[in-house]
Structures are given as C-alpha cells and as structure tokens.
Amino acid sequence: MREQRDSDISMRNQGPGKTLGLIVNPVAGMGGPVGLKGTDGPEILQEARRRGARPVSSERTLLALKRLAASTTPFRLVTGSGDLGEDVARAAGLEPIVVYASSPGSSRPDDTRNAALVMAYASVDLLLFAGGDGTARDVLAMVADRVPILGIPTGVKMYSAVFGTNPENAGNLAARFVAAESSVRFREAEVMDIDEAAMRNDQVSARLYGYARSPHERHLTQNAKAGSVANENMSLDAVSRQVVREMKPGCLYLLGPGTTTRRVMTELGLPSTLLGVDAVMDGALVGSDLNEHELIRLMAGRETRIIVGVLGGHGSLFGRGNQQISAEVIRQVGREQILVITSMDKLLSLDAGCLRVDTGDAHVDAMLSGHIRVHTGPDRSVFFRVRS
C-alpha cells in the first residue's frame, strides 16, 4: 500500500482543479426496508439478503455524482475499484482514477478504512463517502482532521452531522466546493453511531465518536440528532391521548419509530417497538417491528394511516431510521393520511426551518413536499414546510 500512496501523492499535484476522493459502501442501507436497522456485520448482511434486501447505495451515490458531474470547474476524482466507487463514477460520466483495490477476503469495513487511509495520504481536498453512521465512523478513524469529509446518505442510521440532507444535495455541495465558492463554509460536525445489536433489543445506545471537518450549508447538510427536553412531555402525552380517542374503527394505523409514537402506543395500552414500525387496528396490535413487505401485505384492502414523529435536529419525517415506511408504502397510503406529531419546541429548534424527506423516490418526495399539518398539542397544530 505504501507504493500506491506515493503514486497517489505525485498524481495529486498534476493538473488544475481540486482532487476529490470517493468511497462507496456498496451494502449500506440494505437492512432498512427489511426491518434490520442496519447492516453492520456479515451475519446481518446475510440475513438482509435472505429477506430480499437489494443494494441501494450505488443508485443513491449516482444521484450525487450526477450533480457533481455537471460542474463546469475541472476536478480530479480518485476512488476504489469496482463497486467501491469506480463503477458508479463511470456511470455518472466521470473518469475516476482508481487508487485502491480490495484484497481477497477483505471485509467492507476493511475496504472503507484502507481506502480512506490511501486518500488521506494522497491529501485529497474533500473525501466523499456513501454509507451511514458506521461508514462515517470508519472514515473518521482513518483521516481524523487531516481531510474534510462529506457523507452521501445511503445507510439506515444517519444521525451524524456529516451528511447531506439527501444524495442530490451532497452532490450540489461537493460541486460548490469544487467551484471554490466562497459561500461554502466548514464546521466541526459530530460523528455519532447507535449500537445495532442494542437497537434490535429495542434499546438506544448512542455514542459520539468524534468530530470531523465537514462542509456545511444550512439547507444542504443535516444536523446531528437532538434529544427531547423535559417540557415537551406534557403536550406530547396530551396529543397522544387525543390521537387515540380519534382513531377510526376499521382503519389500520402504522406507527413509526421513536419515543413520540411510543406515547400513542402507551395510551393504547400496547407494547411498542421503539426503533421499529408497529401496526394497530381497533385498539389491538396486529403487527410489530414490521418490514416494508409486511406493511404492504397488512395494508391490502384496508384504509391505512401513518403516524410519525420528527427526528430532532435533522427534522426528518421519512428516510432516516424509518425506511420500512418506504416510498411504496407512502404512495399507497397517500399524503392526506399521514399524521405528524411533535412538540413546538422541536420545530422551533430546527436549524433548516423545515422538515425533510428523503425516501429515495423523487416522485414521492415531491408529493410530500409543501406544507403539512403538524400536531403539537391537543387541538393545536401548525402547517410546517416539508422539503426534499
């Protein structure tokens, strides 16, 4: 690897323009729609495939790279071989320089870490990576503060503040960086991760792994997940009671992950999956910790509504930690049948001043965009803007 690094460094100084690195975790995000909360570890990846999961990382990376490829400013792109970045870069019309090839028997985390180390030695100006929080951790461990990083969100867990709000915006921000726009600022962004094994046991165990230097623009990048504050509790309990009182007989309700929707389940006297999707009808639990396909089967022939909270800090409605409620589920349910519950304090604290959706389907994201009613207390609601 030392010889490879030296060649990269000499290449780095040839020609005009900035040098960007690209690392793709090709299995990131596969566990989301099938209800696995992530794909950390070979056993979980095998289970995701057994459940019919398909790779999504490359197609989401392609959305980002198409925005970058439209840049009129010359730049160089260095990446890993094959599905580590080369294939999707070429699909976007770019001519990448391959500086890392995986070794036989290497794991996906090994490839991420080794490729990041090569690019750190090559002194790339910005390192783009496609994945989730686990990928962000691996990149940070190798580059520390030597190289600024920017995440293309393709994983299940994306609580860190190094990600674009969606793949297109990550590409837009990278293109602005390439063009040396003075409006591109940098910040020390949190890299966080949640223990997947604990998540599958319905426990949240979050940890801050460090800070990365990352480009930031208010509407293009997300904040780290924020926690709740004590004065939210009474209003959320009250609105949850009202939601339960107004539930329609014979209607199927799908409740997304989180502590806000758990309050609704508590009012119903039912157990809930804190980090999964549950289904309720006529006051009874009809499904717990459901994946996309199970949700669609339950919905067949039934009037259905979705109840979701807002992911604090991010302001995310769909696409962060609740990929089981997929674009197809949302399309079948319809925008008017989505009930959003959160506190006014959480809405006011959102840095972007709007809610975010990133379902992976441009048509569904467009359908969700605009203003949506958000219930903040009993008989209290506001219309809040949703952006894709």
Q: For the ranges 234-248, 278-292, 328-342, which has the lowest average pLDDT?
A: 234-248
In terms of residue numbers, what domain contains 344? 230-387
Tens of pLDDT, residues 182-216: 678 999 999 988 765 555 555 555 678 999 999 99
- Indicate if 206 and 234 belong to the same structural domain: no
Tens of pLDDT, residues 305-342: 999 998 766 788 998 888 899 999 999 999 999 999 99
| Identity of residue 138 | D
Three-state SS at 156 = coil
- Indicate if 172 and 194 belong to the same structural domain: yes
Closest CA to 310 of 333, 340, 335, 332: 340
Q: In 188-316, which residue ranges form alpha helices assigned H by DSSP?
A: 196-200, 233-245, 259-268, 292-299
Phi, psi torsion values for 281, nearest 5 degrees: -150, 135
- Indicate if 305 and 340 belong to the same structural domain: yes
- Indicate if 200 and 238 belong to the same structural domain: no
- Indicate if 147 and 234 belong to the same structural domain: no
SS (H, E, C) 158-199: CCCCCEECCHHHHHHHHHHHHCCCCCCEEEEEEEEEECHHHH
The answer to the question of residue 335 being in a domain is: yes
Instruction: Please check whether residue 255 is in contact with residue 340, taking contact to mean a CB–CB distance below 8 angstroms.
Output: no
> Which of 159, 190, 216 represents a domain boundary (last residue)?
216
- Indicate if 150 and 281 belong to the same structural domain: no
Q: How many domains does the chain have?
A: 2
Q: For the ranges 52-56, 154-158, 213-217, 287-291, which has the lowest average pLDDT?
A: 52-56
- Indicate if 180 and 240 belong to the same structural domain: no
Q: How many CB atoms lie within 10 A of CB 230?
A: 6
What is the structure's pLDDT at 287? 96
> Which of 216, 241, 272 represents a domain boundary (last residue)?
216
Closest CA to 224 of 162, 165, 276: 162
Three-state SS at 138 = helix
Closest CA to 220 of 182, 252, 178, 173: 173
- Indicate if 192 and 239 belong to the same structural domain: no
- Indicate if 238 and 179 belong to the same structural domain: no
CATH number at 57 reads 3.40.50.10330
Tens of pLDDT, residues 43-90: 665 665 667 657 688 999 999 999 999 999 999 999 999 999 999 999
